[in-house]
């Protein structure tokens, strides 16, 4: 082996990238003058992709593996450069390494409340926040659409845009879902999958995908939450009258046990007077006499009359009495009222039979 061949072997160009950060998405391989030797070794590790850019044009994309940079491994670059298969000189090209692993535990949340229409509470404002993950699926498209010529592109540079997309789709999906606010907590998993599916089309245009999106919490404004807490407390209290008496007794007991305040003695006297008044109002055996409540008034029936195949009414009993006196109805007239089993003759109904038994007195002058 000659000395020249030895030096050539010692100075073989090795191109690779080892990422020791957690947020770098794209890193440009720096080389003075961007000169790369023919026959250089390119190492692309798992979770990476290498993109060659020649004179501003995107050329070849290399997936994980070990490559010897020769004409047969760089078809697009060879076509752009119009090389012969026997070239040996260095060539100038920019190499961008793209991180294709997942970026996890990224935060998203609504800046302002989202207004949606709840079937129970009406228009309400809600907030939400959670986490998501994202990864590069098309390195070439991501480089041309987002990164450009940035030598070191991090996740922070695109996370704000992705958060805006998530919030926009979340607002649209929640507003059109019709899910009650109180039931959203039980449907966060389905909402997250639905929102991720809606976002996938937009992210695909950037060369990205969102494998996961989680909704950690959906909250209401503090005033609405306080109202819900009161409503829950009322439901747990049961009898509001007894609950009010119990709460007042607890408050008075707590105040009476505070000797530093001048309220203790006064409240104690008030409690004694209230207990004395209660005992005075009770009966001889310590029970308050029950007030006699009159029964509800009887329900007056109204009647329908069938005549010549038509139904008339409803008429009160007094109206039927006047009709019987005028001869408009007879004992054989069919009548019906609510609760009666079918049509019956007026004379067969006990309540109406008496209308036909009272005969008017003879006219005067007879």
Q: How confident is the model at residue 10 (pLDDT cuts 50, 70, 90)?
A: very low
Question: What pLDDT is attached to residue 98?
Answer: 94
Domain 303-356: top CATH class: alpha beta
CATH no. of 103-223: 3.30.479.30
**Whole-number Å distance between alpha carbons of 118 and 187:** 15
Average pLDDT over residues 249-277: 60
Task: Render pLDDT for 73-97 as a digit per residue (tens, 0 to 9).
Answer: 676 666 656 555 555 556 777 889 9
Predicted pLDDT of residue 103:
94
Angle value at C-alpha 93, between 87 and 99, nearest 5 degrees:
130
What integer pLDDT is reported at residue 134 of this predicted model? 95
**Mean of all residue pLDDT scores within the chain:** 78
Query: Which tops the pLDDT comparison, 88 or 339?
Result: 339
Lowest mean pLDDT among 93-97, 267-271, 313-317, 340-344: 267-271
Cβ burial, residue 94 (10 Å; 0-12/13-18/19+): buried
Residue 276 or 28, more confident: 28
| Percentage of the chain modeled with pLDDT above 70 | 72
| pLDDT value, residue 7 | 38
Q: What is the pLDDT of residue 106?
A: 93
**pLDDT higher than 80, residue 129:** yes
pLDDT in tens, 175-200: 887 788 878 878 888 888 889 988 99
* Domain residue limits, the chain: 3-99, 103-223, 303-356
CB half-sphere exposure, 78, CA atoms < 13 A:
14
User: Which of 16-30, 131-145, 282-296 has maximum average pLDDT?
Assistant: 131-145
**Axis-axis angle for helices 156-177, 188-204 (nearest 10):** 130
Is pLDDT at 1 greater than 50 in this prediction? no
């Amino acid at each position: 082996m000659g000395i020249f061949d030895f030096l050539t072997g010692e100075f073989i160009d090795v191109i690779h990238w080892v990422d020791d950060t957690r947020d770098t998405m794209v890193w440009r391989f720096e080389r003075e003058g961007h000169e790369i030797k023919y026959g250089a070794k390119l190492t692309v590790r798992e979770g990476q992709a290498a993109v060659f850019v020649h004179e501003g044009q995107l050329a070849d994309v290399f997936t994980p593996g070990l490559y010897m940079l020769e004409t047969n491994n760089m078809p697009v670059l060879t076509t752009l450069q119009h090389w012969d298969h026997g070239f040996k000189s260095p060539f100038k090209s920019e190499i961008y390494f793209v991180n294709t692993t997942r970026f996890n535990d990224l935060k998203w949340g609504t800046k302002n409340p989202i207004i949606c229409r709840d079937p129970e509470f009406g228009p309400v404002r809600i907030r939400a926040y959670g986490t998501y993950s994202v990864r590069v699926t098309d390195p070439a498209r991501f480089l041309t659409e987002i990164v450009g010529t940035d030598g070191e592109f991090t996740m922070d540079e695109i996370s704000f845009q992705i958060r805006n997309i998530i919030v926009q789709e979340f607002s649209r999906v929640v507003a059109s879902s019709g899910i009650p606010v109180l039931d959203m907590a039980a449907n966060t998993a389905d909402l997250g999958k639905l929102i991720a599916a809606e976002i996938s089309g937009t992210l695909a245009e950037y060369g990205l995908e969102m494998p996961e999106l989680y909704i950690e919490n959906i909250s209401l404004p503090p005033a609405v939450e306080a109202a819900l807490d009161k409503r829950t407390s009322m439901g747990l209290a049961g009898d509001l009258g007894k609950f009010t008496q119990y709460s007042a007794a607890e408050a008075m007991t707590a105040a009476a046990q505070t000797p530093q305040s001048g309220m203790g003695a006064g409240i104690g006297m008030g409690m004694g007077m209230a207990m004395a008044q209660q005992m005075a109002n009770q009966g001889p055996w310590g029970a308050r006499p029950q007030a006699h409540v009159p029964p509800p008034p009887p329900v007056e029936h109204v009647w329908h009359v069938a005549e010549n195949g038509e139904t008339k009414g409803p008429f009160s009993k007094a109206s039927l009495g006047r009709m019987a006196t005028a001869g408009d109805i007879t004992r054989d007239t069919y009548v019906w009222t609510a609760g009666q089993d079918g049509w019956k003759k007026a004379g067969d109904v006990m309540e109406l039979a008496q209308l036909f038994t009272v005969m008017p007195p003879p006219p005067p002058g007879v």
